[in-house]
Amino acid sequence: MNPGNLQQMSARGEKIAMLTCYDASFASLCETAGMDALLVGDSLGMVLHGATSTLAVTLRDMQYHTRCVANGAKNTCIIADMPFGSYQQSPEQALHNAARLMAAGAHMVKLEGGSVMAETVRFLTARGIPVCGHLGFTPQSVHQLGGYRVQGRSVDDAQRLLEDAKALESAGAGLLVLEMVPAALAKEITAQLSIPTIGIGAGVDCNGQVLVLHDMLGIYPGKTPRFARNFMEGAESVQAALAAYVQAVKNGAFPASEHSF
C-alpha cells in the first residue's frame, strides 16, 4: 500500500488504522492484523532506548528501524519520522536525509511543525518525496511547549493550528497527524482539509488513528497517556490485540470520549 491508498480510503469514508512499529516481527504481525499504515516513530527513543524524550534519536537509528519494518511488512504503507535536527536547517538538508529514509524502505516521511515548515514540505513533495505533517503536541518541541500539554485550547491557538494545517496541505503534504488536540478542533480541521488526518488524542472524528505500539499493548513501563487504550486486556494473544485495535478504529469504537480532550 502506498500513501495514495490512504487518501482513497479517506475519500470512501473508511477509517485508517495506523500503529507505530520498530522491527520486522511486529511489522509482520501488524500487516497480518490488517493495519493500513505503520509509523516508524522517533518514539523509539523512549520505548526502545529508555530516554525521556525523542530528542536523542539519530537519523541512523531511524534508517535502521525503517529497514527492519520494511523487511517485515511488504504490503503496508510505511511512514518514517524524520528525527530532531535532520530537517530544520534547510529544505536541502531535509531532502538529503529524507532520501536516506526512503532508501531504507519508507514510502513517506513525517516531520513536525506548521507554516514554518511549508517551504520544506513543498521542496520535498516537488521532488517526489511524500510528506506527512504533524501538528498539535509535537514531541520534538517538548521543551519549548512546556511539557506534554494539549495544544489548541485557546481561540488564538486553535486558529493558528487551523492555518498551519491549511499551509501544510497547500504545500503538498499528503497526510496530517494531530496529536493532543481538542476533539472539536480536530473535527473542524479534518472538515476543512482534503487530505486525511490521523489522530492521537484528538478525538474520533479524524480520518484515522495512531497509537504507540507499546502503549496499545500495555507494555511501556512509563506513564500511559490518557488517550491510549490497552488492547491486550481481554485479548488471547498479541495478534488478537492488534486485530482488535484495527477493528475498533474501523468501526469508530476507538477512541472513546475518555481517550479524547
Alpha-carbon distance values, 60 to 83, 139, 176, 248 (Å): 10, 19, 24, 34
The alpha helices in the chain, defined as continuous H runs, are 3-11, 24-33, 44-47, 59-72, 91-103, 118-125, 155-171, 183-192, 213-216, 238-250
**Mean pLDDT split into 10-residue runs, the chain, 261 residues:** 89 97 98 98 97 96 98 98 97 98 98 97 98 95 73 94 98 98 98 98 98 97 93 97 98 95 93
Please tell me the pTM assigned to this model: 0.97
- Identify the architecture of domain 3-259 in CATH: Alpha-Beta Barrel (3.20)
Question: What pLDDT shows up at residue 148?
Answer: 73
The full set of domain ranges for the chain reads 3-259
How far is it, in rounded angstroms, from Cα 104 to Cα 205?
A: 33
How far is it, in rounded angstroms, from Cα 27 to Cα 33?
A: 10
Which residues are part of the catalytic machinery? 179
